[in-house]
Structure 1
């Protein structure tokens, strides 16, 4: 592909509320992304109603700033009509420029609603290898948001494969998740609050114990590209620099945008830009994997990783105070402790305190603060920023409010014909005769002691893509395929095809691009594709899939409803050592393959497979008692995922029904 000349990248700012939106405008952002009050990947932010979004979008457009809506949640089958109504209102009233989405059902729903803007594939959508870009473009996406785990070399590899007019977006600053985006089930496993639906309770930020030592083994420092922005600027097809932080303050938004504008436009003012970043009230920064020859592991830290700027530790719990590392101003907001601590609280600074001065906290009855508790500065309203926000708020107030009129069913777009539920007997795949039901056992190596009479699957990445699987076996591709692995994986697949392989399970929809003629094969979407509705299954069918194994994260009501409306045969995971987190990194002081314990006494361990680390709880997903219900609902494939359990790990006997009896949030 001919290299296109590089263009000035757009700076994309986060906004979790109106004040942060105005701060992004004040700082000179080129585009702003925000979420609605539902179906957003940051549900803990204030977010926007459609009425609010319509008005702030008008204000932004009047200043030449684009607005994107992050509608990046997986959608349950029963929610598709509700989503369609929201999209219809969005298309009628808000005039936003793009939707950032992870669930491919949104492509169809946005079209039905008459949405005219662009569709951007969220990093949660897990397009992580070069060939996948073409598949994403064919599915309707004009932009792909790249994973935060990438190095500059991997970003270059993706940029070299960009098809047509597609462009790429990269994160340059903000919080890092321990897991690869779209591959974290930790919060959901321990209570149904799904990271894929914006409800993450951040279990990775907590203290865990291993070998008698308590540490925040999974809590990352922030990402900060800072001076490496100069290198990013030279990579073609990188149209957008994205700042993470929809839960952050207006102060953070303002100063990070100001910093990266300088780094982009006036690199000779690097020191001023770095001082802005230091003043933005974020965690300690890390270049993470950007420099592949000098990787900075964000888990290798002695610093505090709570959100905000670390100020000091509590002295004398009877009359708590701390010695501040920074000067404090009246109106500053302090966060005392971490969210899992019972005495966690927010307090406002009432008087100015010089650097290294003592600040005494207001007493809270019945909430004794422990000695050495961390204190963070999370917001500041300096006079310069306050004046700018005030002026912009006045401008916003002059924009007339709009009235959102109720929608009638007759005004909504109609579903495509092949998405209408078939009447009569549940078929499992769009009215066809019910096929035989079969079970599949999936291994990382050939089972020796275990005898199985079921269909057999193998993770092809085992032994560095050296596993020798029988031609009739199902070959499983990894949940994450990084750019440097793509060619190795593709060569393995080609060799397997020559030897007669026909059955494959892909764990990202975009892996379909590794096959020249998928329709001639039996290719299924795997459980890591996070399928939760039948419109997503329709998209899979259009791009060449023969069937789909739905997300095991779903509650029973949604799970059992899918076969009736599906246009493809469906499978379900009924038993598995399921990873609650898949990461590219591990803490240097975490013993791989050894158990660790959560604050609630739950036990887990981490195993390394090729380029990723998988964390497993010490009890499996087990829906064995529900197999009759799954079969009666119309599922034609039941999957059992085996893992190699390290010596010394004691599996616990406890119900492993995950969200079956819960309401997935």
Structure 2
């Protein structure tokens, strides 16, 4: 389609960035509220702050999408419904970006009339998923993963049904883990990335076999000139720029650059201008990751600094009088970040006066801290006068209205009725290798992407576990494996992506459960899962005790939980060449983990297990009926640590 122009979708984590997006000519802005955003570290907005900004955006022809893309617990449902009701009345956004399936039901309950966009955290990664999502859930747009190649993107576009569109990340920070498949922050410290509270343990320094580095810290995604090959794909309705924690300078420059790539990318002069804008946008070094399948780039770079912002130098000088000689001129009000967040000398500094390139800026260390000498310095925000003037001009046009007469909603979410069937209790040991199945327990087996017809399988009655991510080129083989198993009498399946049920084509008389990687934490998500044809569900292992007990009270489906075993910190499509699989690597706090590869993905495991076996009786009494033990083969060099494996049981899911 020659006239197809995808939206340039800009991030906004604060008012200045929101206004910078409008000033740059963005087609749409996405932002979050103070609650239920997958970027809780951004400043985000209150309803009162967002209402006049949304009105101003609409006056300038800019759409606004609000991200409510957090995993919800039982206690969140009514409050989240109240927020949607308030948004409908006071903000009137054009759509919501959601991860948790409960938001689909809550949007209907509150009468929300805008679009629903399924976040990349929902892991819709293969073609058959798209038809299911549109026909069964009435979703308007799906945000597809950052890890895809252009051929995989084309496969999704070709399978995209009418009235559904795709949104694609083209620029910004990369997470090491596949979206919706990273539990590193939660497992290490109780702060869930699925709840927007990730503390980014992947960005820290790790050690393996005497080598030390930031082995899991990614550079930024930047498709820049490659974005032109996406223009013929009319199913892609938006080019998304990541960066809700970024300042207005970054937003203005990246939006301006990608407008040029989209509208004038065939003009060599304009393409050069766009590249120059990106080079000045204060981002990390860029990579196109897997976009070109014939020339993939590993986004984990141990040779370059991966701190957020533009690297401008390293601090020199002794003792209490260190200084910076920047490789870029510094302007008044520039914001510098000194070091990485996990370093003792980490600090931020607002520049007071102009500093020429190779000039000298003296840095006063924080009180009581060590000298910052040797620390890298990153320019994270800049306020040129021209941009400040544009932001001020727009700010003066904001018409504020009092919302005092429209109090917070006291909406009570309508919950489903609890299932009444008497479900027999079972405990399942899940293995990787069929030959290692324990005959004394009900067996479970991971269904790997290889052709299982060539394997000598003696028992097809075991519970087959599907992988937690399915890439486009794996769909056909996975479907063939499922059909083969069913033809041999297999009836029990655990799906670790809800959309994998599309591969069963409505086949009846099967026992299909939603697995723990479906990240289910509330009964309205279970209601949606039930409507898709699932027989039961295994709750998210991130939950705390009260969360588990609340979940069963109104569950429309039988429930299970992960009782013990090996749970991954993260699943990724890439691994640094500096990390060897099967060998332990060590965090700064002495935590051990290892990497292993299954199919096309790398799984990162800690050397201590989940162990809630002493909670089984309490969960049985509450009504849980399936208990899962995940048994992972241990490499020879891995020694499991005797450590309490309660995860969030006692502290709750933050």
Deviation at 1:457, TM superposition (A): 1.1
Residue matched to 2:262? 264
CA displacement at 1:461 relative to structure 2: 0.7
Map Cα deviations across residues 421-458 of structure 1 (whole Å, 9 max, x no partner): 45xxxxxxx122x221110111110244x634221111
Question: Which one of the candidate residues 248, 255, 261 is aligned to 1:250?
Answer: 248
Deviation at 1:640, TM superposition (A): 0.6
Counterpart for residue 512 of structure 1: 501
* Alignment partner of 1:444 is 2:445: no
- Kindly provide the CA deviation profile for residues 37-63 of structure 1, in whole angstroms up to 9, marking residues without a partner as x: 010000000101111111111000001
- Once residues 478 and 358 of structure 1 are traced to their aligned partners in structure 2, the CA distance between those partners, rounded to angstroms, is 54
Deviation of 1:323 (Å)? 2.0
2:27 aligns with: 30
The aligned residue for residue 130 of structure 2 is: 133
- Check conservation: 1:444, 1:459, Cα contact below 8 A: yes
Deviation at 1:301, TM superposition (A): 4.3
Structure 1 residues without counterparts, runs of 5 or longer: 423-429
State the match for 2:607 in structure 1: 618
Label 1:618 to 1:34 Cα distance change in 2 as closer, same or farther (>3 A).
same
Asked whether the equivalents of residues 561 and 633 of structure 1 are also in contact (C-alpha less than 8 Å), the reply is no
Question: 1-side partners of 2:491 and 2:388: how far apart?
Answer: 63
Q: Which residue of 2 aligns with 1:454?
A: 441
Shift of 1:414: 6.2
Shift of 1:186: 0.3
8 A Cα contact 1:249 1:378, kept in partner? yes
Moved more, 360-369 or 482-491: 360-369
Contact 2:547 2:652 in 1 (8 A): no
Cα shift readout 1:17-71 (whole Å, capped 9, x = no counterpart): 1110000000000000000001000000010111111111100000111000010
The residue number in structure 1 matching 2:579 is: 590
* Deviation for aligned residue 1:358: 2.4
Shift of 1:658: 0.4
Does structure 1 residue 89 correspond to structure 2 residue 86?
yes
CA distance in 1, matches of 2:152, 2:610: 34
- Aligned-residue offset at 1:594: 0.6
Alignment match of 1:641 (pick from 630, 633, 649)? 630
Once the 2 structures are TM-superposed, how far is the Cα of residue 114 of structure 1 from its aligned partner? 1.1
**In the alignment, is residue 435 of structure 1 matched against residue 435 of structure 2?**
no
CA distance in 2, matches of 1:288, 1:553: 29
User: 1:335-346, aligned counterparts within 5 Å?
Assistant: 335-346=337-348
In the alignment, the residues of structure 2 paired with residue 9 and residue 407 of structure 1 have an alpha-carbon distance, to the nearest angstrom, of 36
Instruction: Give me the whole-angstrom Cα distance separating, in 2, the residues matched to 1:167 and 1:364.
Output: 49
Q: Which residue of structure 2 lines up, in the alignment, with residue 372 of structure 1?
A: 374
**Aligned pairs for 1:61-72 within 5 A:** 61-72=58-69
Worse-superposed segment, 67-76 or 77-86: 77-86
CA distance in 2: counterparts of 1:421 and 1:317, whole angstroms:
68
Indicate how the Cα distance of structure 1 residues 467 and 532 shifts in structure 2: closer, same or farther if over 3 A, else same.
farther
Counterpart CA distance in 2 for 1:150 and 1:16 is 26
Q: 1:498 aligns with which of 474, 477, 487?
A: 487
The residue aligned with 2:652 is: 663
Q: Distance in 1 between matches of 2:32 and 2:536?
A: 32
1:260-659 counterparts in 2 under 5 A? 260-267=258-265, 268=267, 269-318=270-319, 319-396=321-398, 398-403=399-404, 405-406=406-407, 409=410, 412=411, 415=414, 419-422=415-418, 430-432=419-421, 434-448=422-436, 451-461=438-448, 465=452, 468-469=456-457, 470-659=459-648
Structure 1 pair 213–34 and aligned structure 2 pair: CA distance change class (3 A): same
CA contact (8 A) 2:345 2:366 kept: no
**1:163-182 correspondence runs (5 A):** 163-182=161-180
Structure 2 counterpart SS, 1:173: strand
- Aligned counterpart in structure 1 of residue 106 of structure 2, from 105, 109, 115: 109
- C-alpha contact (below 8 Å) 1:144/1:169 kept by paired residues: yes
Query: How far off its partner does 1:317 sit?
Result: 3.9
| CA pair 567-60 structure 1, distance change in 2 beyond 3 A | same
Counterpart in the other structure of 2:51: 54
Partner-residue secondary structure (3-state), 2:474? helix
* 2:85–2:409 Cα contact (<8 Å) kept: no
Q: Contact 1:114 / 1:413 at 8 angstroms: preserved in 2?
A: no
- Asked if 1 retains the 8 angstrom alpha-carbon contact of 2:81 and 2:413, the reply is no
What is the distance in 2 between the residues matched to 1:579 and 1:372? 35
Structure 1 position 471, deviation (Å)? 2.1
Measured after TM superposition, the shift of residue 362 of structure 1 is 2.7
Unmatched 5+ residue regions in structure 2? none
CA–CA distance in 2 between the matches of 1:15 and 1:580?
29
TM-score between the two structures when normalised by the length of structure 1 = 0.95
Note the C-alpha offset of 1:464.
5.7
Looking at structure 1, the residues matched to 318 and 539 of structure 2 have their Cα atoms a distance apart, in angstroms, of: 51
Q: Aligned equivalents of 1:497 and 1:332: distance in 2?
A: 62
How far residue 365 of structure 1 moved from its aligned partner, in angstroms, is: 2.3
Structure 2 partner of 1:148: 146
CA distance, structure 1, for counterparts of residue 200 and residue 388 of structure 2: 31
TM-score of the superposition, structure 2-length normalised? 0.97
